[in-house]
Structure 1
Amino acid sequence: MKFAFAGIDFLGGVFEGLIEAGWTPIKLFTRPCDGLYDHNDVVVARARQLRLPIQLSRLKAQDLDALNAAHGRDWALVVAGYPWLITGWRTRAAFGLNIHPSPLPTGRGPYPLFRAVEEAYETWGVTAHVLAEEGFDTGDILAQDLFPLDAQEDHETLLAKCQMAARRLATGP
């Protein structure tokens, strides 16, 4: 399956995992990062290595139109760590998928990892769900990778666990 990836290094393992699973990337949508708290160096370097088009501005309907013109509906839009709501993909792509770093429906919205640590959750996870056009993280759940949290869990260890779970979801069983 061909796919366009919208994301940054935070969940960039999804990008690499799909390639490992035999998917063919056709474009990278990312965003400017501050280089301190968020990065896109790895996904951009990989896209350059693969000679993919890279877009740093917000994904818009005309970008989906261009992919549809080039590939028909024979491609998927995969989102992981992308801050902007994407609409209009249903008529242009075969499907849209979001990888979210929480066990939805718990943790909807941007970056829920701090909540998991602050509220001392005993389990957490990463969810693959249909990319909804009505709002963030509301689409039908396709799969989840759940894992226990330690009593001394901190942001960095939870981040690593989420990154590994996201990659597992991308590569499949």
Structure 2
Amino acid sequence: MASFIAARPDTAAVVHDLTRTYLRGFGGCTVIEHGSSGSGSRTNACIDHAHWHLFPYVDELRSIVDDDYGTSMKLVGSLAELAQAYANADYLLYWDTDGARATALDAPTLLPQYARSVVARRFNMSAEPYDWDWALRASDEVLVQTLAVARRLLATDNASVGCGSDFKSAGEIR
């Protein structure tokens, strides 16, 4: 994601629109993003890409990420700062209403499907190991329901809340 931010000047607008929709529709937005440095990445990402997971929570996932990464998470003030600080590193970004924090990653510190595992652990949703892994537990019904909700949110999005490129915008996800 770091090089994606640098290469795409519209990244802030895309992030703004997505988080605005979540905030309006759900009342909260938490972002977990694992970025790779590109070829040779050690975090299971085979290319340098933007891979954001948006969840409809205010701060419910923070304790799980803190348990996993603790003091290695450092405050990040903006998308530009994230891009500069982690331009050549695999990293994890956690962003909720309390601000954004990131950490550099070394294998094997990031589980495959890490963001899904955080939600499953927080809400005790995993009856079996890796029950949250979409590749192992695919459900067409859940996918159809998720897409229907997303389409309704996008069709009715007239709100003016969002985050832009600054992780600390007042009254918004920071």
TM-score by length of 1: 0.24
Structure number with higher helix proportion: 2
TM-score by length of 2: 0.24
